[in-house]
């Protein structure tokens, strides 16, 4: 029967006509009965366009320079988060990392259906990006630039947020040199911290590194109050 395992929503590979998958495994996998059955072809021009459009990355790097936070740029590397930087915490240099993502247009209806989240609140993250952050935990951040929400386009998640918050994981087949599966996390932006500008983002990152991170790690109570969660009385 459909349900949750911890904070992970899960469903099966099989999708009955006119309905959502029946729960048999820990993620959605798209087969021929889904609305996303076609193998995704990543075209070379997509990479060219992504590499050419670096305005968000440049804005973040300029902000780090203005703060005096030394950084290293790994945006063209596949095995590391986009940026690593140094910040002084109680007089000692501390390394942290930041992964940058953008939502540039409304997401497809199938993502919305699987996530159970309103489209304007939905963000999609490659699982590869999450694993890169995990390797540098706990001083690791994910920052989304949501072009569809100009009122608060910046959404910040800590690695602890990503670990603890509700999420839906899906898989789909792609054809990049050869056929393989790719995993995506469907996230609710309301579970992160939203900001109108980067100044607010950097202030929140500083607070996390200075004291909040250790508070979050040592806390006995649940991390966060997340939308849609049920408090069980057993």
What's the rounded Cα separation, in Å, for the pair 148 and 115? Answer: 18
What's the rounded Cα separation, in Å, for the pair 55 and 80? Answer: 20
232 lies in a domain?
no
92 lies in a domain?
yes
What's the rounded Cα separation, in Å, for the pair 146 and 110? Answer: 19
User: Who's near 1: CB < 8 A, 6+ residues apart?
Assistant: 23
Alpha helices by DSSP H, 68-180: 109-115, 127-134, 159-164
List the beta bridge partners of residue 210. Answer: none
80 lies in a domain?
yes
Please give the structure tokens belonging to residue 136. 């540098």
Task: Look at the block and give the residue holding tokens 């100009």.
Answer: 150
Cβ atoms of 82 and 61 within 8 Å: the answer is no
CATH number at residue 211: 3.40.1350.10
pLDDT digits (tens), the chain, 234 positions: 344 333 444 333 333 333 333 222 234 554 434 444 444 444 555 445 555 579 999 999 999 999 999 999 999 988 999 999 999 998 999 999 999 999 999 999 999 999 999 999 999 999 999 999 999 999 999 999 999 999 999 999 999 999 999 999 999 888 777 788 999 999 999 999 999 999 999 999 999 999 999 999 999 999 998 998 888 877
- CA nearest neighbour of 63 among 196, 207, 204, 201: 201
91 lies in a domain?
yes
Q: How many domains does the chain have?
A: 1
226 lies in a domain?
no
225 lies in a domain?
no
Where b means 16+ CB within 10 Å and e means fewer, 128-148 reads: ebbebbeebebbbbbbbbbee
231 lies in a domain?
no
| Residue-range definition of the domain harbouring residue 29 | 3-218
User: Who's near 87: CB < 8 A, 6+ residues apart?
Assistant: 69, 93, 94, 96, 206, 209
234 lies in a domain?
no
């Amino acid at each position: 029967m459909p349900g949750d395992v911890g904070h992970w929503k899960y469903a099966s590979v099989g999708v009955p006509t006119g309905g959502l998958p029946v729960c048999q495994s820990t993620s959605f996998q798209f087969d021929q009965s889904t609305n996303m059955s076609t193998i995704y072809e990543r075209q070379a021009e997509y990479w060219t366009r992504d590499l050419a459009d670096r305005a968000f990355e440049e804005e973040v790097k300029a902000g780090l320079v203005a703060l005096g936070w030394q950084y290293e740029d790994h945006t063209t590397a596949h095995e590391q988060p986009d940026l690593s930087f140094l910040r002084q915490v109680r007089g000692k240099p501390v390394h942290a990392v930041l992964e940058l993502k953008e939502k540039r247009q409304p997401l497809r209806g199938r993502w919305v259906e699987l996530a159970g989240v309103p489209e304007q609140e939905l963000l999609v993250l490659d699982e590869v990006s999450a694993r890169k952050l995990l390797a540098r935990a706990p001083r690791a951040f994910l920052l989304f630039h949501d072009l569809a929400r100009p009122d608060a386009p910046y959404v910040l998640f800590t690695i602890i947020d990503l670990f603890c918050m509700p999420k839906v994981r899906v898989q789909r087949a792609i054809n990049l040199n050869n056929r393989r599966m790719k995993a995506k996390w469907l996230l609710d932006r309301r579970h992160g911290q939203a900001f109108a500008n980067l100044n607010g983002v950097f202030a929140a990152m500083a607070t996390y590194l200075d004291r909040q991170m250790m508070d979050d790690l040592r806390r006995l109570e649940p991390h966060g109050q997340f939308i849609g969660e049920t408090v069980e009385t057993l």
